[in-house]
Structure 1
Amino acid sequence: MGIATVLPFGTFQLLTSSSANSTNIWLDNLQDLAYDVEDILDEFATKALERKLKAEHVHEASTRKFRGWSPLLLNASMPSRIKDIIGRLDRLCKQRNDLGLQLTPAVTSSSTAARRPDSSSVPKECVVYGREDDKAKVLEMVLSDEPSVANVRVIPIVGMGGVGKTTLARKVYNDTTIIDYKFDLKAWVCVFDNFNVLSISKKLLPSITSKACDLNTLNEVQIKLKEAANGKKILIVLDDVWNVDYRLWETLKLRSLLLLGPTQRHNLKLLSDDACWSLFMKHAFESTDKVIKKCGGLPLATETLGGLLRSKRDEAWEDILNSKIWNLPQESGILPVLRLSYHHLPSHLKRCFAYCALFPKDYEFKEKELVLLWKVEGLIRQPRNNKQLEEWGNKSFHDLVSRSIFQQSHADCSKFVMHDLVHDLAQLISGETIFRLEEAGDLSRRKEKVRHSSFPRSDYDNKSRFQFLIRVEHLRTFLPVVISGGSYCGYISNMVVCDLLPRFKKLRVLSLEGYYVTRLPNSITKLRLLTYLNLSGTEIRCLPESTSSLLYLQILKLRDCLWLIKLPSRMRKLINLHHLNLRGAYKLDNMPLGMKKLKNLQTLSNFIVGKSGSRSRLNDLKDLNFLGGALCISGLENMENMQDAREAMLSKKQNLEELSLEWGFNNSRDEVVEGNVLDMLQPHINPLFSKMEVLKLENCKNCISLPTLGSLGSLKDLTIKGMMNLRTIGSEIYGDGCSTPFQSLEILHLENLPEWE
C-alpha cells in the first residue's frame, strides 16, 4: 500500500462524511505513520552523510594506509522503531480493508490519457461556430468518387489539441448527407495516447456487429472483423489519435478491412475572433445562472468558485456545479464552495494549503518566505522537468492565488492573506498536526499528534508559555510570528533556548527572529534534522562551532544581526546550504575558510573579503555556480591579489540579478588593483541570459575609468558613487560591438564624483 496514494482519497472522506469517524481516525494514524517513516529515513540519511564527510576528511588529512569501510552505526533504537513501523503499517492495511477504503493511484503525466473520458459520436453541441467551411471540405473528401487503393479512403483531420477536431468529426459523422450516402456500417472508436492495437480492434468489433466482444487475441478479433465487414461500405472514425508509428498502423490494417492507401489531409486551423467570441458568449452565459445561485450572494464564494472554474476545462464545469459536496451540512461553518475548491486541488497544493493553518488569522505573509518553508518542510518535491524546486514552489503559490485561496493584502501589495473562512478550512484539513499556542487551553488536543507549532511573539516569552510543548516528542516547526499590533522584538527565556529547544530532535524549522538572544547553546548539535534556522534581528555575537554539524541545514538567516562578528570556522561542512542571508551584519569582517565547498548555495547576500589569515578568498566564488538573486561583495580594499577577482568568474553566474561591489576606507589601497578589479568582476554579459537588474559601484576611490557595462541587457538601475578620481565616463562603458547599449536602463544614479568633468 502506498501512503501517498491513500491520503488524497482519505482527505476527500474527511470532507464529505460527517459520520466517518473511524475513517478519520484511520487517516490520522496513517499521517502519523508517514511522519515517522520520514523521520527514520532522514535520520538514516544524516548518519550516512556524516560518515561520508568523516571518510573524506580522513582521506585528505591522513597518509596512513586505508583500512576499508566501517559499518554504518545506527542508533540502538533504530531496529525496534523500524519493526514498530512495519507492524503499524500491517495493522493499517487490515483496517483499510475492514473499512472498505479503496486506493486511488497518484495522478501522473503518464496517466493523463486514462483520465480523459471516451469521446462518442453523439452530438454534444447544439451549435458549432466557425466550422461550416471545414465541414463542407471534409464531407467532400468523404463522399468523393475518386478511386483509391483497395477502395479505402483515409482522411486525417490534423490540428493542435483543443482546436475542435473531435467536434468537426462528430458533425461530419452525423450529417444527413452521410446517412443518404448509405454506408452499411458506421463505427466510432476513441484511441487515446496509448495506441494498443488489440484494444482498438476490440472496440471496433462491437461497433460493427452490435455484439459484445469476449475474444482475447488479436488474430481472433481481426478474423471476426474481416467476416463482419466483408463486402460492406463502412465509415470508421478513429478519434484522439496521437501515435504515428507506421508499424502499429500496419498491424491495425485488419487485412482486407482497412488497407492504408493514399491520404487526403485536412488541416484544421484556429477559429476566427468572431467565432471565438460567439462560442465564449454562449458558454459564459449558459452557466451563469447556476454559478450565481451556487455563490449565494457571498463575495468569497464567488471569488473562490471563479478561481476553481477558471482552472478547469469547460466539460468539467457541470461536474463541479453538480457535485454532491454542495449538499453536505456546513460543519464548522465551512462553505461548500471552499470544500469543493479544496477537493479539486492537486495533491501537492493540498499539502501546501493545509500547512498555512500554522499562521494565525489575518496574518500577512510574503511569497518567498512561505515557499522556503514549504521547501524545507518537504511539502514540495522536485518536479520531473528541470525546474528548480523554488520555481516549482513559486508556481504552486501563484496557483493558490489564482484560485482565490490566497489574496493580496490591501495594506501591503507585497504580502498575501487568507480569508477567515479559508483559514477555517485549512485548520479543519490540518487536524491536530498543527498547533498554535493561543489554542493551549484546548484540553482535547493530543500532544502526540502535534508536528508544527507557531505563536505570536510577545515582549517576554518565558518557559511557562511553552508548557504544552514540553512533552511533544515529534515537533518539526517552532515558529514565532509577528501579528498586527504585536511586538516586533522581545525577550525569550534562556531556559527555552538552552533546555527546551534541544529536546526537539525532529525539529526542521527553528526561528528565533527578533528575540534578544546573544548566543546559542552547543547543544544545538542535537537538532541534526534542522533544515531552517532564522536568527535574524537577534543580538547574537557568534554562532557556536557545533552549528557546523547541522549537515542538512538549507537556510541560514542572519539578517540584521548587528553584533555578529564571527561565523563558524568549519562552516564548509554545511554542504546542503542553499541560502545564506548576512545582509545588515555590518560587524562581520571575513568569510570562514572553505566557502568554496558550499556548492549548493543559491543566494549569498554578502561575501566579505577579509584581511590576511584563516579566511576565504574572493576566488572561492568560482565553484558557486548556482548563485542568483542579489550578491554584494564588500571589503574589496582588502584584496591582495587581483587574480582572485578574475578567478571568481562572476561572468559564469547567469542567475545573478543584482550585484554590489563595495570598497571601504583604507589609506594604503593599491591603485593598480582597484583600477583592474572592476573589469575582472564583470558579471555575465550575454544579453540573452543575463538577469542582472541592479549594479552598484561604490567607494572605489582610486578608480579612474569604468568597465564595459552597456552590454548588460537587463540592467535597470546603475549607481556610481564615491569614485573620487573618476574624471570621465566615455564610450568605453558601452563596449565594442554593442549596437544598443543599456537596453533596459531606467535609473542612473551618480553621486560624490568630485573630479568628474
Structure 2
Amino acid sequence: MGGIGKTTLAQLVYNDEKMQSFFDLKAWAYVSEEFDAIKVTKTILKSVTSTSCDDDDLNLLQVKLKEKLKGKKFLVILDDIWNENYHDWSILRAPFEVGAPGSRIVITTRNRGVSSMMGTIQAYCLHVLSNDACLSIFTRHAFGAGDFITHPNLKDIGEKIVIRCKGLPLAAKSFGGLLRFKENPDEWKEVLNKNIWDIPKERSGIVPTLMFSYYHLPAHLKRCFAYCSIFPKDYEFKEQQLVLLWMAEGLIQPQEGEKEMEDLGKEYFQNLLSRSFFQQSNYDSSIFLMHDFINDLAQLVAGDIFFRMEERFGASKQRKIYKMARHSSQQGGGTKQFEAFSELTCLRTFIAFKLPQSAGCLAPEDPLQLLSKLQCLRVLSLSGYGIYKLPNSIGDLRHLRYLDLSDTPITSMPESITTLYNLQTLILEQCPYLKKLPSTFENLVNLRHLNILNTFSLEEMPPQISKLTCLRTLSHLVVGETSCSGVKELGPLLHLQGTLCISRLENVIEPRDARDAKLIEKSGLDGLLLEWSDNLNESKDRTSELDILSMLHPGGTLKELIIRCYGGARFPSWLRYSSFPNMVLLRIENCKKCTSLPPIGQLPSLKDLSIEGMDSVKNIGAEFYGENCYQTFRSLVTLYFKGMGEWENWISYGEFPHLQKLFIGDCPKLLGKLPNHLPLLEKVVIYGCWQLVVSISSFPELCQVEIERSKGVVRGGKVNFKSLNFMSVSTISEFTSRIKGSDMDGLTMVENLAIFKCKELAHLWTDDVGSLPQLPCLRVLKLEGCTKLVSLVAEKVEEQLQLGMPSMVREIKIQNCIVLESLPKAMMYNNTCLEYIQIVKCDSLLYFAKVQLPPTLKRLEIIHCKNMLVLLNGDNTNCSSNTSLLEYLYIENCPSLKSLTSSGELPVRLKQLSIRYCQKLETIAKRFEHNSFLEIIRISSCESLVSLPTGILSLCHIDEIDICNCATLVCFPEEELLTANLRLLQISGCEKMQALPNCIHRLASLQELQIKACPGILFFPEEGFPINLRSLVISDLNITEALFEWGLHRLTSLSRLVISGGCQHLTSFPEKKLPADSLTNLTIERFPNLETLSSEGFRSLTSLEQLRIEECGKLTSIPEDGLPFSLLKLIIYKCEKLTSFPENGLPLSLQQLSINRCPLLTLQGRNPFDEN
C-alpha cells in the first residue's frame, strides 16, 4: 500500500556506499501511472551521463543508452510503476540487456501484478512496522530525537497517536511533522482525535498517497471497494464472504458467456488484494483485513449512501444518518440504536456486527422488529446475535439475496423463508440448536450457497433438495432415514464446488442410492468428507458399507478426502493412484474394522497423510505401498499415525523421497523399525510407543527429534546430522543403555536439547563412554524430572573446568531434578553466551553460585527451591556482582532463603527485581546506591523482611514499586533526593507499616497509588498526594481524617478513585467535591454507615463513566436528581436496604447495569430499562 516505505527502502539501497564499489553505473527514474518509455529512458540516460538529452526519438535514445550500459554493471531503480502492459515493459528493457552480469533493476510498485509481469525473482512485500519502530519515526519528526526523554508528559498521548498509525511509516512521519516542536498537550490531543482526512493535504502525505491508489482503479473495482466501507476497523473477513456480498448487491454482472459470478468476484478480490487495498492476516492466509487508513478511504469515497454505526447512540463522533442511505452496518448497542435504522426505508444492506468477545448483546427481538420496515433489503446479516427464531414476516423481504444467521442460538426457521425466491446465499454455520430446515426448502430455486457447517443438531436435510440445481456450495449433507432426504438427492446438483461433508451414512440402506449421488460427475468438488456415526450399536450389520463406499466414488479432481468411522473390513478399489492425480490430503480415521490400509503409495500428488484409530491393523506392508513398491509416496511431506492399538510391524517396501515430518503416537505394540531411507526427513515425533527403539541413522536432514514414552533411541552408524538443531527425549525407559556417547557424536549441530523424565540419568557430561559430546552449537538446554541427576558435569570433569558445559549455551531450564546439588563452575566463568537460567523445584540446591554469577547472564529465575539459603554464596567480601550483566531477577517460594548475596550488594545492571513467598528473607540488600538501572521492584509475602534498602525512592530510573504482604515491614527509609520517574507505588498487606513516605507529594511522575490493608497507617502526609495522580486506591485503612480533608479535589488528573472500607464515620458521599472534570471511574465499597449519595456531589461528576457501589448495608436510595448523564456502567452489589431507583430513571447513556444481592430493590416509576 502507499506510504509503507517502498521508495524509502529503495533509496537506502541506492545511496548505500557499498553500491558505489559494486556497480559501475547507477540510475533512478520515477515512473508513476503514466508509463512513458521516452521520458523514462531520458531520465536514466541523464543519470548515467550527467547531461540532459533533447531527443524525443525512442530509438535514438535507446542506442545512446546501450552505448553507455554496454559491458557495465549497473543498478537502475524504477520507482512507482503502475503499468501492467508487458509490451511496454519489453520495449523499455531492450537497452538493459547489454549490461554486464550482476546488473540489477529494482522496481517499486503497489501492484503485485506489475511485479509478476516484470520480475524474474519473487517480489519482496513490505509489511507494516512494529509500534516501537513507528514510535521511533514519530518522535524523530516531532522532537528530532528517538524517544520521549525530553518530553515525558507527552509520552502517553504520543503512544496513542502511534497506535493509530497501525504500522504505516508515512503516517508516523506525517503525525510527527504536524506536532513538530509543539509542547502543549492539548494540541497533541487534538491531533489524536482528528480524522486523518481532516488534515490539510499540504501538511500530510497520507491523503494524496492513498487517494492516488483509489483513482487508479477501474470503475467496477471502485464500486466494490467502496462497499467495503461497511466493515468496522480491524474486521477480519474471507474472500468468499466479500464476493457473496458483492453478488447480492449486483456489483458483479458477468456478460453472457463469461465466467460465473463467483469466479469473476474472485478476480475482483485478487485485483484489490494485489493493489494492497486488503492485507493478509499474519496468522491465517485465508483471512484478510483493511488497514485503518484504507478503511477511512473506503468511507470517504463511499459517501452518505453508506453508513456505519459503531459508537453509542448520540455520541458526538457519530455521523448523522442520511435517510436515503442504501448500505449500513452496526456494531454493538441495543434497542435505541436499532430504532435509528427504522427510517432508512431504502436500505439494501444491513449487517449487525457482534462486538469482540461479546455473546449476543442484543435482545432477540431488537433487530427483528425492523424487518417489516426494511422491504428493500438485499443483504441481512445478524451473525453472532441472540436470535432464537425468525418472524414469519421474513418472507416479505422479496429482494433478499443474502441471509447470514451463523453463530446464533436459532432453533427453527419459519416456512415463510422459502418464499425468498431471489435468495442466493444462506449461512447457518455454527447454529448448534437448529434441528431442521423448512419442509418446502426446495422452493429456493436461486439458492447458490448453503452453509450449514458445524450445525451439529441438524437431524436430516429437507426433502427434495435435489431441486436446488443452482447450488454451488453445500457444506454438509445430513443423510436422513427417508428416501426424499437421502444421499441420492445429490445427483442433480452438478455445479457443487468446494468442500462437501456427507454424514450419517449409516442411513443409506441401498448401495444404488449412493450410486445415484453421482459424486464422480461433480468435477467442481475439491474436498470430500464421508462420515458414519461413531456411536453405532456393535451388533449392527455393517457388511453393506463396502458396497456403499464403493458407489460414493468421487471425481478425479478431488484434492482432499477424509473417511471417518467407516465400518467395512477393507477399502474399495477406487481409492488408488489412478483415480486421484490431484489429491494432496488424505485422512482415514476410526475405521476400526479395517484390517489393512488402502494401496495409496502411488498417489502422485499426496502431501499430507493421516491414519488414526485403525484398531484392527496389525501390519503395514506391501499392500500400503501399491503395485510399484520402488516409486512410492513421491510427493508425501507429512505422515501421521495415531491410536493404532494393535499395530505391531511396519515393513517398509518403498521410499518416502520427500517426507519431511513423521508423527507416530500411542501405538504401544509397535516393535519393528522406521523406514530406512528418508533422505529429506526434518522432524520426527514419537510418543506412547513403549516397545519401539527409534533409530535415526538414516535421516541426514533431521532438524527436530522428539521422543517420549518409548523404549530407546539410537543413532546407529557414523552419520553427521548437519541440520539437527532440536532434540527432546522424555520417559525413555533405557536412556543410559540406549543413548551412548558414540551414538551422539554426529549431533554436533544440535541447538536445542530437552531431556524429560529420564530417571537413570546422573550426569550429562562425564569422561565415560556414555557421555554426551560437547555439542558446540547447543543454545538451549532443558532438563525436567531427571530424579537421579546429581550434576550437569561429573566431578572429575568439573575439576578440569575446560571440559565443562558447551560454551555457546544461551538458555538453561532445569525442573524437578530433586538431587541436583550444584551447577558447573565453568558455567560461571567460561560461558560467553548464557543469558537466561530458570531453576524450578531443585530441592538439593543450597545456593546458585559461589563468588560470581555467569558474566553474560541477563535473566535468572529461581522457583520452589525449598532449601536454597542464599543466591550468591561468597566466602568473603570479594564475592562480587559488579561485573554481572543480570537485568531480571525473579525468586519465588524459596522458604529457606535469608539473603540474596553474602556481600549485601545486588548486580549493578539489575532492572527488575521480583521476590515472592520467601518467608525467611531478612534483607534484600544493604543499599541501592549502585543500582541506578532498577526500573521495577516487586516484593511479596516476605514475612521476615524488616526494612527496605536505603535509596529505594532515589533510584533515577525506577518506574514501579510494589510491596505486598510483608507483615514485619515498618516504614520506608528516609530519602533526601527523590526520583523523577516513579509511576506506580503499591503498598498492601503490610500490617506494621506506620506511615507513607513523608516526601510522597514530591513524586511528580507518580500516576498510580494503591494503599491496601495497612492498618498501622492512621494519617496521610500533611502535604497531600502527588498532584499528577491518575489512579488512587485506598482500602482498609484506619484513617481518622474526614474524607474531604484528603485533598482529593486538588488532583485534577485523577480519573480512577477506589475507596474501600475504613470510613466508619461516613454517612453521605461525597462530602465535598471530587475531581469533577477528570474522574471517569469511581468505586465505593464497604462503607458500613453510608446512608445517602450526595446529589450535589454526583451532579458535578460530569465525566463519570463507571460507578461501582458494593457492600453499603445502610444505603437506601440513589439520588433523586439522578446520576451523571455521562454514565456508561453501573454496578450495585450487596446493598441490602436499597429500595428503589430514581423516579426519573437512569441516564440514557447507560450501556451496562449489574445488580446483585439487593433484595429490596424494586423498579418504581418509569422502568429504567425502557431506554437502555
TM value normalised by structure 2: 0.37
1:605 to 470, 475, 479: 475
CA distance in structure 2 between the aligned counterparts of 1:588 and 1:626, rounded to whole angstroms = 24
Per the alignment, residue 510 of structure 2 pairs with 641
Q: State the SS of the aligned residue for 1:651.
A: helix
CA distance in structure 1 between the aligned counterparts of 2:375 and 2:628, rounded to whole angstroms = 57
Q: Deviations over 1:225-246 (max 9, x none)?
A: xxxxxxxxxxxxxxxxxxxxxx
Per the alignment, residue 388 of structure 1 pairs with 260
Q: Deviations over 1:715-750 (max 9, x none)?
A: 222222222221123548859999977664444555
Per the alignment, residue 587 of structure 1 pairs with 457
Spell out the pairing of 1:140-151 with structure 2 (5 A cutoff): none
CA, structure 1 residues 387+282, in 2 after alignment: closer, same or farther (shift >3 Å)? Answer: closer
CA distance in structure 2 between the aligned counterparts of 1:640 and 1:449, rounded to whole angstroms = 57
Runs of 5+ in structure 2 lacking a partner?
Answer: 1-33, 40-54, 68-85, 110-136, 142-164, 172-198, 604-625, 649-1172
CA distance in structure 2 between the aligned counterparts of 1:453 and 1:641, rounded to whole angstroms = 50
Contact 2:424–2:447, Cα closer than 8 Å, also in 1? yes
Q: Deviations over 1:617-649 (max 9, x none)?
A: 212211211212111111110111110111211
Report how far residue 694 of structure 1 moved: 2.2
Counterpart residue type for residue 627 of structure 1: L
Q: State the SS of the aligned residue for 2:485.
A: coil
CA distance in structure 2 between the aligned counterparts of 1:282 and 1:127, rounded to whole angstroms = 19
Is the aligned partner of 1:511 residue 2:381? yes
CA distance in structure 2 between the aligned counterparts of 1:675 and 1:437, rounded to whole angstroms = 56
Per the alignment, residue 590 of structure 2 pairs with 722
CA distance in structure 1 between the aligned counterparts of 2:289 and 2:406, rounded to whole angstroms = 23
Is the aligned partner of 1:126 residue 2:1? no
Spell out the pairing of 1:79-118 with structure 2 (5 A cutoff): none
How many residue pairs are counted as aligned between the two chains? 475
CA distance in structure 2 between the aligned counterparts of 1:468 and 1:449, rounded to whole angstroms = 13
Report how far residue 395 of structure 1 moved: 2.6
Runs of 5+ in structure 1 lacking a partner?
Answer: 1-114, 133-159, 169-269, 285-294, 304-326
Counterpart residue type for residue 263 of structure 2: E
Per the alignment, residue 675 of structure 1 pairs with 546
Per the alignment, residue 393 of structure 2 pairs with 523
Report how far residue 523 of structure 1 moved: 0.6
Is the aligned partner of 1:702 residue 2:576? no
2:277 to 405, 427, 443: 405
Report how far residue 556 of structure 1 moved: 0.9
CA, structure 1 residues 675+349, in 2 after alignment: closer, same or farther (shift >3 Å)? Answer: same
Q: State the SS of the aligned residue for 2:296.
A: helix
CA distance in structure 1 between the aligned counterparts of 2:374 and 2:504, rounded to whole angstroms = 39
Counterpart residue type for residue 709 of structure 1: R
CA, structure 1 residues 273+353, in 2 after alignment: closer, same or farther (shift >3 Å)? Answer: farther
CA, structure 1 residues 165+432, in 2 after alignment: closer, same or farther (shift >3 Å)? Answer: closer
CA distance in structure 2 between the aligned counterparts of 1:277 and 1:476, rounded to whole angstroms = 58
CA distance in structure 2 between the aligned counterparts of 1:597 and 1:364, rounded to whole angstroms = 34
Per the alignment, residue 629 of structure 1 pairs with 498
Is the aligned partner of 1:457 residue 2:332? yes
Is the aligned partner of 1:560 residue 2:430? yes
2:415 to 528, 536, 545: 545
615-624 or 741-750, which deviates more? 741-750
Report how far residue 403 of structure 1 moved: 2.1
Contact 1:519–1:543, Cα closer than 8 Å, also in 2? yes
Identity of aligned residues (%): 38
Q: Deviations over 1:591-614 (max 9, x none)?
A: 11111111121111111111136x
Per the alignment, residue 182 of structure 1 pairs with none
Contact 2:523–2:555, Cα closer than 8 Å, also in 1? yes
Report how far residue 469 of structure 1 moved: 0.7
Counterpart residue type for residue 704 of structure 1: R
Spell out the pairing of 1:197-596 with structure 2 (5 A cutoff): 272=97, 274=99, 280=105, 300=168, 329=201, 335-382=207-254, 386-410=258-282, 413-438=285-310, 440-441=313-314, 445-457=320-332, 461=334, 463-482=335-354, 486-596=356-466
CA distance in structure 2 between the aligned counterparts of 1:380 and 1:673, rounded to whole angstroms = 47
CA distance in structure 1 between the aligned counterparts of 2:107 and 2:414, rounded to whole angstroms = 67
CA distance in structure 1 between the aligned counterparts of 2:548 and 2:423, rounded to whole angstroms = 34
CA distance in structure 1 between the aligned counterparts of 2:357 and 2:544, rounded to whole angstroms = 48
Per the alignment, residue 79 of structure 1 pairs with none
Counterpart residue type for residue 620 of structure 1: E
441-450 or 522-531, which deviates more? 441-450
Report how far residue 756 of structure 1 moved: 6.5
474-483 or 595-604, which deviates more? 474-483
Report how far residue 660 of structure 1 moved: 0.8
Contact 1:580–1:603, Cα closer than 8 Å, also in 2? yes
CA distance in structure 2 between the aligned counterparts of 1:338 and 1:623, rounded to whole angstroms = 48
CA distance in structure 2 between the aligned counterparts of 1:452 and 1:612, rounded to whole angstroms = 43
Contact 2:497–2:525, Cα closer than 8 Å, also in 1? yes
619-628 or 708-717, which deviates more? 708-717
CA, structure 1 residues 549+730, in 2 after alignment: closer, same or farther (shift >3 Å)? Answer: closer
Q: State the SS of the aligned residue for 2:480.
A: coil
Q: State the SS of the aligned residue for 2:544.
A: helix
CA distance in structure 2 between the aligned counterparts of 1:507 and 1:744, rounded to whole angstroms = 49
Per the alignment, residue 135 of structure 1 pairs with none
CA, structure 1 residues 745+572, in 2 after alignment: closer, same or farther (shift >3 Å)? Answer: farther
CA distance in structure 2 between the aligned counterparts of 1:699 and 1:738, rounded to whole angstroms = 29
Contact 2:201–2:207, Cα closer than 8 Å, also in 1? no
RMSD: 4.0
CA distance in structure 2 between the aligned counterparts of 1:660 and 1:282, rounded to whole angstroms = 45
Q: State the SS of the aligned residue for 1:352.
A: helix
CA, structure 1 residues 127+273, in 2 after alignment: closer, same or farther (shift >3 Å)? Answer: closer
Contact 1:607–1:634, Cα closer than 8 Å, also in 2? yes
Report how far residue 530 of structure 1 moved: 0.9
Contact 1:507–1:530, Cα closer than 8 Å, also in 2? yes
Contact 1:606–1:631, Cα closer than 8 Å, also in 2? yes
Q: Deviations over 1:421-480 (max 9, x none)?
A: 22222111111111122365368735322111112235xx3x222121111111112212
Contact 1:505–1:528, Cα closer than 8 Å, also in 2? yes
334-343 or 724-733, which deviates more? 724-733
Counterpart residue type for residue 293 of structure 2: L
CA distance in structure 2 between the aligned counterparts of 1:336 and 1:274, rounded to whole angstroms = 37
Q: State the SS of the aligned residue for 2:561.
A: strand
Counterpart residue type for residue 710 of structure 1: Y
Q: Return the structure number with greater strand share.
A: 2
CA distance in structure 2 between the aligned counterparts of 1:704 and 1:282, rounded to whole angstroms = 58
Counterpart residue type for residue 576 of structure 1: N
CA, structure 1 residues 280+116, in 2 after alignment: closer, same or farther (shift >3 Å)? Answer: closer
CA, structure 1 residues 641+369, in 2 after alignment: closer, same or farther (shift >3 Å)? Answer: same
Counterpart residue type for residue 486 of structure 2: R
CA distance in structure 2 between the aligned counterparts of 1:553 and 1:646, rounded to whole angstroms = 30
TM value normalised by structure 1: 0.56
Contact 1:544–1:568, Cα closer than 8 Å, also in 2? yes
